[in-house]
């Protein structure tokens, strides 16, 4: 018989990588945690790679190592990025090198499902974590705790509720936080390809007519496409058969990878900028896409969310003994610690997108000149790499 009322230190709502990482980190710190999430969906039969991949920075790798999840990943399915080449108008080029920046790699390209499966396995070994494959439908706040009611009638009481439930967050709505959202009128089209030519562990990105095309290195000479396309164009790309899509990617990337063979179905997801007026509320903290949504042109959205988790866990670990987890003073420390990082990345990604979307020969000349100047400043490039690594 399932208990109708259970008491925890923290309830984490949200089943993506950020929510599961938050639940695991909090449980490993000794707290009693409830996680409302679904297990990872296995890859489709015959699939070579997951369509959705992430460029994980050094900060994300450090968190996953701390959780002992990185050590469980199949390293043969991770793609290191040692170099990155960014192409602007008229073949203007900007080159970032791990060697020049004195780092091991600029990023790791990892499949979403691989990381999530490792998180799922680690969560199942946590004795102080209860996993609920159920939907939350009620939220009550009282001076001593918050109570989350599930669709099956169960009530979960906790000092703190962590909202990791995505861009359309239910937790955020219950907290009363206001949201500003701007649709980019773009769709991110993702797919994976077998490439004819070696990619040399190099990530490449092209800015073309207000759209951004990226090819990210995967193992065994595969590459992952992330094409931020205007919505109507994205619909055309998603309707292409695999051979036609591969031919179009070859065309816009100047056949840099040679001929391409599509090995996963193309998928699309809408792109938007979303900010919230606050990351916290009484007994509530927001992390990941529930707290911020940025353009994927820099590949930093997941890294930003995992840094939310690392900061929240550190703030909780350093709390005074007399404070409970839902203390507003404690939660404000988390919010203050995250504002600068979130604000800077939001401004940078939105600004770059706007800059490369402006048409005209004068603006094109200024962009090319700016890229050339940046390319000639090794210290500035090293600072940019350090910021991206977190």
Region 67-85: mean pLDDT is 94
Region 357-376: mean pLDDT is 67
pLDDT at residue 46 in the model: 60
Contact indicator for 340, 307 with CB cutoff of 8 Å: no
Contact indicator for 175, 136 with CB cutoff of 8 Å: no
| Cα–Cα distance for residue pair 27/313, rounded to 1 Å | 10
Contact indicator for 190, 225 with CB cutoff of 8 Å: yes
The DSSP letter of residue 283 is T
pLDDT at residue 199 in the model: 96
**Cα angle: 46, vertex 47, 51; to 5 degrees:** 165
- Superfamily the domain 5-41+116-180+275-353 falls into: FAD/NAD(P)-binding domain (3.50.50.60)
Number of residues assigned to the chain: 390
Give the tens place of pLDDT for each residue, 197-250.
Answer: 999 999 999 988 889 999 999 999 999 999 999 999 999 999 999 999 999 999
| Closest-CA residue to 314 (of 330, 301, 327, 298) | 330
Q: Which helix (H) or strand (E) holds 173?
A: helix 170-175
pLDDT at residue 390 in the model: 65
pLDDT at residue 94 in the model: 82
- Superfamily the domain 53-111+182-271+360-389 falls into: D-Amino Acid Oxidase, subunit A, domain 2 (3.30.9.10)
pLDDT category of residue 1 using cuts at 50, 70 and 90: very low
What proportion of the chain, given as a percentage, has pLDDT over 70?
Answer: 90
User: Cα dihedral sign for 22, 23, 28, 32?
Assistant: positive
Read off the pTM.
0.93
In the predicted structure, residue 179 carries a pLDDT above the cut 70: yes
In the predicted structure, residue 380 carries a pLDDT above the cut 60: no
Cα separation values, 239 from 224, 266, 301, Å? 18, 9, 27
pLDDT at residue 383 in the model: 63
Place of tokens 């994300």: 60
Burial class (CB in 10 A: 0-12, 13-18, 19+), 44: exposed
pLDDT category of residue 268 using cuts at 50, 70 and 90: very high
Contact indicator for 106, 81 with CB cutoff of 8 Å: yes
Place of tokens 């997108």: 353
Region 80-108: mean pLDDT is 86
In the predicted structure, residue 385 carries a pLDDT above the cut 90: no
| Cα–Cα distance for residue pair 308/292, rounded to 1 Å | 10
Average pLDDT, the chain: 91
DSSP, collapsed to helix, strand or coil, labels residue 109 as strand
Lowest model confidence (mean pLDDT) among 9-23, 149-163, 341-355, 368-382: 368-382
Contact indicator for 29, 317 with CB cutoff of 8 Å: yes
In the predicted structure, residue 352 carries a pLDDT above the cut 90: no
| Closest-CA residue to 230 (of 189, 180, 182, 289) | 189
| Cα–Cα distance for residue pair 193/18, rounded to 1 Å | 27
What proportion of the chain, given as a percentage, has pLDDT over 90?
Answer: 75
Place of tokens 């790499």: 385
In the predicted structure, residue 78 carries a pLDDT above the cut 70: yes
How many Cα atoms within 13 Å fall on the side-chain side of residue 43? 18
pLDDT at residue 51 in the model: 85
DSSP, collapsed to helix, strand or coil, labels residue 195 as strand
Per DSSP (E only), the strands in the chain are 5-13, 33-36, 53-56, 79-81, 83-87, 93-97, 107-111, 129-132, 136-142, 145-150, 155-163, 179-195, 202-208, 211-218, 222-230, 260-262, 267-276, 280-281, 284-286, 292-293
Cα separation values, 245 from 191, 241, 254, 256, 315, Å? 9, 6, 14, 16, 47
Any idea where the domains of the chain sit in the sequence? 5-41+116-180+275-353, 53-111+182-271+360-389
| Cα–Cα distance for residue pair 245/9, rounded to 1 Å | 49
Contact indicator for 308, 287 with CB cutoff of 8 Å: yes
Region 24-35: mean pLDDT is 98
Per DSSP (E only), the strands in 79-154 are 79-81, 83-87, 93-97, 107-111, 129-132, 136-142, 145-150
pLDDT category of residue 361 using cuts at 50, 70 and 90: confident
| Closest-CA residue to 231 (of 185, 190, 184) | 185
Lowest model confidence (mean pLDDT) among 131-135, 185-189, 234-238, 375-379: 375-379
Lowest model confidence (mean pLDDT) among 202-216, 284-298, 346-360: 346-360
Residue 39: count of CB within 10 angstroms of its CB: 14
| Cα–Cα distance for residue pair 72/58, rounded to 1 Å | 17
- Asked whether this chain's domains 5-41+116-180+275-353 and 53-111+182-271+360-389 adopt the same fold, the reply is no
């Amino acid at each position: 018989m399932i208990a109708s009322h259970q008491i925890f230190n923290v309830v984490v709502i949200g089943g993506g990588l950020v929510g599961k990482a938050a639940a695991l980190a909090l449980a490993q710190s000794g707290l009693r945690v409830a996680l409302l999430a679904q297990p990872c969906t296995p890859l489709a039969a015959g699939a070579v790679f997951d369509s959705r991949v992430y460029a994980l920075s050094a900060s994300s790798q450090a968190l996953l190592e701390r959780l002992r999840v990185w050590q469980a990943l199949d390293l043969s399915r991770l793609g290191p990025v040692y170099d990155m080449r960014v192409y602007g108008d008229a073949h203007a080029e900007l080159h970032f090198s791990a060697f020049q920046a004195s780092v091991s790699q600029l990023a790791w390209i990892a499949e979403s499902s691989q990381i999530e499966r490792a998180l799922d396995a680690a969560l199942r070994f946590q004795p102080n974590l209860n996993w609920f494959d159920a939907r939350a439908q009620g939220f009550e706040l009282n001076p001593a705790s918050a109570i989350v009611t599930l669709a099956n009638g169960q009530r979960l009481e906790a000092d703190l509720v962590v909202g990791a439930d995505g861009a359309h967050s239910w937790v955020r709505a219950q907290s009363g936080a206001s949201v500003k959202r701007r649709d980019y009128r773009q769709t991110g089209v993702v797919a994976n390809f077998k490439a004819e030519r070696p990619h040399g562990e190099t990530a490449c990105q092209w800015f073309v007519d207000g759209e951004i095309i990226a090819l990210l290195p995967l193992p065994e000479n595969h590459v992952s496409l992330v094409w931020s396309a205007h919505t109507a164009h994205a619909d055309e790309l998603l309707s292409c058969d695999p051979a036609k899509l591969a031919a179009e990617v070859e065309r816009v990337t100047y056949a840099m990878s040679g001929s391409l063979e599509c090995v996963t179905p193309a998928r699309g997801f809408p792109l938007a900028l979303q900010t919230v007026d606050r990351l916290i509320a009484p007994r509530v903290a927001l992390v990941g896409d529930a707290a911020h949504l940025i353009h994927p042109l820099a590949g930093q959205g997941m890294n930003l969310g995992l840094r939310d988790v690392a900061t929240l866990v550190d703030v909780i670990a350093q709390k005074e003994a007399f404070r409970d987890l839902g203390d507003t003073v404690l939660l404000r420390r988390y919010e203050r610690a995250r504002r600068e990082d979130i604000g800077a990345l939001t401004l940078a990604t939105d600004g770059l997108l706007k800059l490369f979307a402006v048409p005209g020969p004068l603006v094109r000349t200024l962009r090319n000149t700016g890229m050339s100047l940046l390319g000639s400043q090794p210290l500035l490039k090293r600072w940019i790499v350090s910021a991206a690594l977190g």
